[in-house]
């Protein structure tokens, strides 16, 4: 394959830098194209977190645009829209990846007790459904705890990244018994270094590693490893 063209599609500006950094670490030879529609999250919240037909159509439009302009692979970076991403990827031939599925697979590899943390409230029901799907495919029943880190996203968007990270670390400390702790949004990845003592999974690196395997045809690693 020539240099692969990979589209990163964002619903939050704060996901752009973590996604680009993960691509630079895990797939530096890929040509990255960024698409941002930062009205998606606001419109989703205004609908009470419901993914209606209009919202699903927007994701199909974004996916179709990326494919029409030469995408070899597509990575969505906002975890609140899993069902809409699944519906969109069913209509195209190129690999389309949800932001959290690779990290959830790695979390189940780590053990049955899984904690999910988010800073955008609509992410929790979406990522919980995603985890349930992956677990059912494996025939396992994990013990799941969740938490929304209030104030963290607002702090990040106002320029106080240190407070964002500190709030996430404080929330993580309330899930000490988890076999794996998933930071459910790309924008949370920067806080991973502040959390110690457990198996912490940030979604960007796991997602990039899986998309690279899908696009290039590399074999999946043996179960038990972490992407």
Q: Do 178 and 140 share a structural domain?
A: yes
The tens digit of pLDDT for each residue in 21-50 reads: 999 999 999 999 999 999 998 898 888 888
Per-residue model confidence (pLDDT) at position 1:
64
Per-residue model confidence (pLDDT) at position 218:
63
CATH number of the domain to which 81 belongs: 3.40.50.1860
Residue 41 lies in a domain: yes
pTM of the model: 0.84
The tens digit of pLDDT for each residue in 177-219 reads: 999 999 999 999 999 999 976 689 999 999 999 999 999 986 4
Q: Are 131 and 203 in contact (CB under 8 A)?
A: no
Cα angle, residue 188 at apex, residues 164 and 83 outer, rounded to 5°:
135
The tens digit of pLDDT for each residue in 121-148 reads: 888 998 999 999 999 999 999 999 999 9
Residue 94 lies in a domain: yes
Per-residue model confidence (pLDDT) at position 122:
85
Which domain does 36 fall in, by range? 5-99+205-216
Residue 224 lies in a domain: no
Quickly count: other Cβ atoms within 10 Å of residue 56's Cβ: 17
Q: Do 88 and 168 share a structural domain?
A: no
Q: Do 95 and 122 share a structural domain?
A: no
Q: Do 137 and 60 share a structural domain?
A: no
Residue 130 lies in a domain: yes
Strands 113-118 and 73-76: unpaired
Q: Are 8 and 71 in contact (CB under 8 A)?
A: no
Q: Do 199 and 113 share a structural domain?
A: yes
Residues whose CB is less than 8 angstroms from the CB of residue 57 and which lie 6 or more positions away in sequence, other chains included: none
Q: Do 116 and 27 share a structural domain?
A: no
- The number of distinct structural domains making up the chain is 2
pLDDT higher than 70, residue 98: yes
Q: Do 12 and 31 share a structural domain?
A: yes
CA 120/CA 184 separation, integer angstroms: 9
Selection from 86, 87, 121 nearest residue 101 by Cα: 86
């Amino acid at each position: 394959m020539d240099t692969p063209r990979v589209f990163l599609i964002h619903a939050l500006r704060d996901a752009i830098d973590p996604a680009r950094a993960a691509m630079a670490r895990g797939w530096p030879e890929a040509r990255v194209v960024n698409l941002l529609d930062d009205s998606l999250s606001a419109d989703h919240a205004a609908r009470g977190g419901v993914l209606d037909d209009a919202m699903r159509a927007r994701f199909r439009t974004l996916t179709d645009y990326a494919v029409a302009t030469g995408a070899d692979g597509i990575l969505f970076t906002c975890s609140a829209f899993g069902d809409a991403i699944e519906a969109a990827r069913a209509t195209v031939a190129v690999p389309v990846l949800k932001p959290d599925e690779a990290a959830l697979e790695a979390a189940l590899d780590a053990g049955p007790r899984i904690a999910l943390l988010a800073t955008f409230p609509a992410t929790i029901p979406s990522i919980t459904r995603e985890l349930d799907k992956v677990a059912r495919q494996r025939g396992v029943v994990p013990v799941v705890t969740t938490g929304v880190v209030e104030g963290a996203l607002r702090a990040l968007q106002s320029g106080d990244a240190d407070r964002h990270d500190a709030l996430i670390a404080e929330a993580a400390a309330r899930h000490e018994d988890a076999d794996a702790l998933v930071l459910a949004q790309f924008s949370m990845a920067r806080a991973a270094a502040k959390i110690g003592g457990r198996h912490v999974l940030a979604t960007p690196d796991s997602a990039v590693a899986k998309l690279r395997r899908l696009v290039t045809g590399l074999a999946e690693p043996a179960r038990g490893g972490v992407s």
